[in-house]
């Protein structure tokens, strides 16, 4: 019985020692700096909510051309590192069309980027901008997306 109690005590102390060891990922200072992360691994972005705009009279041909320009602009901004997330909303009753997350710190900087979008310029979309705080790792999304995309849009 003594041996069994000793064995249980040994087992308990040896396993609790395993659980107390550090299991967190190691801080990568070089990566954090390259992503402009603060001490929490976060940074400022600007969140853009795209809603249906006031232009409801554009022809199908005009709309198609504006959407093509919209997609070209998204690609350009992503390649420049200014846009880290973009995507449409599914059908909804709020007139929400999509989002952008701009890799800039101020709404003023994001306004300049929004002005480069032909669909926004033509009022097919209306853009609402607000400062946003999120993980600096979000910037890596575009690189990862390229690795999982079989067909380009």
Q: What is the CA radius of gyration of the chain?
A: 24
Residue 83 has pLDDT above 90, yes or no: yes
In angstroms, the CA 101 to CA 84 distance is 6
Look at the alpha carbons of 126, 88, 40, 147 in this order and tell me if their dihedral is positive or negative: negative
Contact call for residues 53 and 125 (beta carbons, < 8 A): yes
23: Cα within 13 Å, side-chain hemisphere: 4
43 three-state secondary structure? strand
pLDDT of 109-133, one tens digit each? 999 999 999 999 999 999 999 999 9
When pLDDT is averaged across residues 27-34 and rounded to a whole number, the result is 96
In angstroms, the CA 42 to CA 29 distance is 13
Whether the model clears a pTM of 0.75, i.e. scores above it, the answer is yes
């Amino acid at each position: 019985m003594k041996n069994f109690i000793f064995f249980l005590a040994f087992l308990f102390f040896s396993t609790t020692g395993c659980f107390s060891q550090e299991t967190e990922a190691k801080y990568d200072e070089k990566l954090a700096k390259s992503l402009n992360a603060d001490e929490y691994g976060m940074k400022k972005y600007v969140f853009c909510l795209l809603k249906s705009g006031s232009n409801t009279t554009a022809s199908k041909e005009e709309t198609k051309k504006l959407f093509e320009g919209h997609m070209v602009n998204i690609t350009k901004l992503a390649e420049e590192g200014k846009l880290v997330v973009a995507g449409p909303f599914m059908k909804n009753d709020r007139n929400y069309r999509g989002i952008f997350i701009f890799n800039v710190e101020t709404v003023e900087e994001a306004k300049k980027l929004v002005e480069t979008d032909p669909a926004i310029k033509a009022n097919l979309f209306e853009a609402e901008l607000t400062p946003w705080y999120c993980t600096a790792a979000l910037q890596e999304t575009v690189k990862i997306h390229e690795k999982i995309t079989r067909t380009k849009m």
